[in-house]
Every structure is written in structure tokens, then in C-alpha cells.
Amino acid sequence: MRGSRGRWQMWLLGASLAVIFTLARPAMGESPCDVAHPLAPPQGHYIGRCPNCGMQRAMWARTWVTFENSSGSQAVCSLHCLADLAVKSGEDPRQVKVALYLEPQKMVSAEEAVFVIGSRAKGTMTAESKLAFASAAAARSFAASCGGRPFDFGAALAAAKAGLTAENRVIERQRLATGKIVLPVDGRDECPVCQMLPARYPRHQCQVVGAEGRVRHFCSTQCLFVFLENPGAYGASAGGPFWAWVKDLASGEWISAATAYFVVGSRFLGPMGFEALPFGRRADAQPFAQTNGGRVLGFREVRPDRLAPEGQGARP
């Protein structure tokens, strides 16, 4: 995600949905519904990680998606995360390419692909799979064996958007239940930067997970970005990799810091003073900045010296 002075990698959080583990390709006579998804073992020649959820292409190659938007070229693990980023950014993706479910090494234009929605085969980040095929004939053949119905990309993306609210609630519960996100314990977990107790600041608490699995809790995004600026000062590897979770100020839900929109330089104060206030959606961040002052930045643009209103120090 982020490294010392802009050089960060993402750490694999692991599977967040229940899926089957079988061989990487169907055996002779095996149902196409039963191919391994995620790939087991992970296939290292697939490179990339989803910035929205942390999932690794080496495991989730069958539903991989690449696209462009105003932030540049990006890649995500699924139509779910593609739809999630579209809603968060307020812009639909362009130049979308999708992996073929049964031939994940092949990426095709989403506009030319045909998607089977609602089959028995496992999807990614959703209970209702949306799987890509190269032609209508291939999609119909798969649906005949595995259920579901063929749709074009527009319908598949619309279905993914429609399911986001319910699916994200389920995913957050699963992350908490499986330890992908760990709530701080009052009286035990201290912020490594200021030694305050993050459990006492539920609206502002955030956390970083290291490659070794260690979770570091922070009372505020000010302390989070101070840590990320120089992790070695707090006993962490200076080069990461780290994965950061923050609380959406609008909804209170845990969201990936990598895809959050941060309001900096506002008059709004948090536990340590001026904060980088996280929002999951640009549409929530912009009016907040207009009302409270400040400007909206992406994760890679945030630094501790940008948190205060212009002309003021890092803390009030």
C-alpha cells in the first residue's frame, strides 16, 4: 500500500469468504463448477493485490479485473471491489478487462464478455457469483451445468453495485470474526506513537497489520500517519509491508486506508488534534471539507505535515 515516503506494499489478509479448495483446473469429467477458487496453492505467476480488500491475484485470478479511472490504471480482485471503488469514487471504470473464470490467464474486454450471475460456483467477495466467459455460448454451457443466467457487463456491474451495502456488512463481520480486523482492548492495547488507549476513541481508532501478522492499534489517524512516515522509530520494519484499516467518519465502518478519501487541514479535531479524516466515499468527503475547511487527499498524498490548517502546526 504505502512505504516509507511513498513506497508501500500490501500484505495478504487471506480469504475473507468461505470457498472450496480443489485442483487448479478441472479434471476430465469434473464439473466446471468445482474448479479451485481461490487457487490452491496460490499461483505466484499471477502478480497483484486488490487495493480495496488486500486479496492477492495469486489466489483470486479467476475473477481479476483491470480498469482505468481518474486515478490511473488499477486492478481489483472482483466485480464486487470494482463496483465498490466506482461508488466510492463517484465515477464508473473505463477500459475494463476481466479474467475468464475457467481460463484465468486470459483477460478480455468486459464489454465483450458474458457474465453468469447466480451460479453454484464460488465468486469473490459476494454470495452471488458473477463470473466472466468469452462468449454467450460458453456462458450458456456453464449455466447449464452450474445454474445462473447470462448477462452483459452493464447488468453484472449494476448487480454488483446493488449488493454492496449488504455484502460489505457481512464482509466486515467476517473480518472481525476471523481476525482480519482486531478491535483494541481497553487497558491493554496502546497507541505506539502517543501511548493513549485506542479503545477509548472508537470513532477515530485505526490499525496497521504487518507482514508477520502483528496488529498495531492507533488512537487517531494523526498517530497512524506519524507511524507510517517512520515505522522504524516504533520498532517496525522501515520497508513494510503494512496493511492499514481506518474508520469511515460518515458510517463508522472499517475501510481500507488505501482507497479512503482523507480530509486534511480542516477545523475538525480528533483525539490528538488535527486529523486526516477518512471517508469511504468521495461524495461524503467533499461536502465535509466544504463545511469544515480543508481539502480531500488520497492515501498516498497524506503526510503528518499536511494535517493542520494552513499556517498552523501539526497539533492545535
Q: Which pLDDT belongs to residue 241?
A: 78
Q: What one-character DSSP code corresponds to residue 239?
A: T
User: Whole-angstrom Cα distance, residue 263 to residue 205?
Assistant: 16
Cα torsion angle, 291, 295, 300, 304, sign: negative
Amino acid at 222: Q
Residue 43 contacts residue 54 (beta carbons within 8 Å)? no
Residues of the chain whose pLDDT is less than 70?
1-30, 239, 311-316
Write the pLDDT tens digit of every residue in 239-257. 677 899 999 999 999 999 9
Which residue spans within 21-148 are E strands per DSSP?
A: 65-69, 72-76, 94-100, 103-109, 114-117, 130-133
User: Around Cβ 17, how many Cβ atoms within 10 Å?
Assistant: 18
Residue 194 contacts residue 247 (beta carbons within 8 Å)? no
Q: Which pLDDT belongs to residue 44?
A: 94
Question: Within its chain, how far is the Cα of 83 from the centroid?
Answer: 11
Q: Which pLDDT belongs to residue 127?
A: 92
| Tally: H helices and E strands in the chain | 7, 18
Residue 261 contacts residue 88 (beta carbons within 8 Å)? yes
Q: Which segments of 163-220 does DSSP mark as H helices, in order?
A: 164-178
